[in-house]
Structure 1
Amino acid sequence: MATLLAPHDPRGPLGGSVVQAYVLIQTEVGRASAVAEIVSKIPGVIQAEDVTGPYDVIVRAQSDTVDELGRMVVAKVQQVEGITRTLTCPIVHL
């Protein structure tokens, strides 16, 4: 399993909070490590790890808004070759 970390700052614009989420990714057989490596380089991705279980890669990502996070997942993450399905789980603090 690979643990790939990208530098990040948990503060949003002007020091405010940011939106964070876990993105659970299913990949084609044998593609998890390559997908994790590629996804880890996408701006906004904090961490990408290949894992075992029903999902093959788990990503922690952040953005300034929910809409921006959604655009990142759809326009960047889901376009990576080898990804078959994603599930985005926003982080909440209850």
Structure 2
Amino acid sequence: MPRTQNQKILNRLARIEGHVQAIQRTIEADRSCPEVLMQIVAERAALKKVALILLEDFAEQRLADVMPSDNFKSERSDLFKALNLLS
């Protein structure tokens, strides 16, 4: 995985870690269930985005290894559109 991609993922994970700590503080402050759940849903979405970035990078590397360069951009675009439908 390219270094810049790694850094992007690490930055996202650091933000996620901060949000998890905020969830802990919210629970310690005995906040309402809907408030805590809303934060948890946001965290799940953030982790899902990290997984999608990893999967896209993996798929792009695999496509580049097995596909002629003239089809690569079109196939890559189609694959990423399909992956984004999952999110």
Per the normalisation by structure 2, the TM-score is 0.31
Larger % of strand: which? Answer: 1
**Higher Cα Rg: structure 1 or 2?**
2
Per the normalisation by structure 1, the TM-score is 0.29
